[in-house]
């Protein structure tokens, strides 16, 4: 059985700007699933972000779209292979127009930085040393 894939559907205000932001972070889009209302951003072979205009997003949910700059919808976390990679993607995201959501967190066995994208969606970039993980509660 193939590994599960995840598609994170995000409402965005400016699709072209969102595509440029994620491209600046090194992510390409899949043109097969991209049009003037949606863009499929390829994070990995199994992780995709569907950036959807508000009108397109509304086709999937009748609930109001909250403003991620003032309300927390969710926190999305992506693992990285090292602390240096966490810092590199965070700094790239900041240069591309993202903003620091909170200061870096260093717990010794885990290091993370949380960056809000240009729409306010929060992405946490995380490195973990599983051999030194915190004991279970």
Q: Is 131 a domain residue?
A: yes
Contact present, 71 and 122 (Cβ < 8 Å): no
pLDDT at res. 136: 56
| CA atoms of 78 and 19, how far apart (whole Å) | 18
Kind plus residue range of the DSSP H or E element containing 18: helix 15-24
pLDDT tens digits, one per residue of 40-90:
999 999 999 999 999 999 999 999 999 998 998 888 999 999 999 999 999
Q: Which domain does 33 fall in, by range?
A: 1-61
Domain limit, last residue, from 9, 32, 61: 61
Residues 47, 79, single domain; the answer is no
Inform me whether the pLDDT recorded for 137 exceeds 80: no
Write down the pLDDT at residue 97: 97
Backbone phi, then psi, for 78, in 5-degree steps?
Answer: -125, 130
* Residue 7, domain CATH: 3.10.180.10
Do 81 and 120 share a structural domain?
yes
Q: Summarize pLDDT for 84-108 with one digit per residue, the tens.
A: 999 999 999 999 999 999 999 999 9
Pair (89, 34) in one structural domain:
no
Quick one: 43 and 98 in the same domain?
A: no
Quick one: 32 and 83 in the same domain?
A: no
123 within some domain: yes
- pTM of the full predicted structure? 0.83
Q: What is the spatial distance between Cα 126 and Cα 57, in angstroms, rounded to a whole number? A: 28
For the chain, the domain total comes to 2
């Amino acid at each position: 059985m193939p590994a599960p894939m995840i598609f994170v559907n995000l409402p965005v205000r400016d699709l072209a700007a969102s595509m440029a932001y994620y491209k600046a972070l090194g992510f390409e889009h899949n043109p097969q699933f991209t049009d003037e209302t949606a863009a499929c951003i390829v994070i990995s072979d199994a992780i995709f972000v569907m950036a959807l205009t508000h009108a397109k997003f509304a086709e999937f949910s009748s609930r109001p779209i909250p403003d991620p700059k003032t309300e927390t919808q969710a926190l999305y976390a992506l693992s990285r292979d090292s602390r240096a990679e966490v810092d590199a993607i965070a700094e790239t995201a900041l240069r591309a127009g993202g903003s620091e959501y909170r200061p870096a967190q260093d717990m010794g066995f885990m290091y993370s930085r949380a960056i809000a994208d240009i729409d306010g969606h929060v992405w946490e970039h995380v490195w973990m040393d599983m051999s030194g993980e915190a004991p279970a509660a």
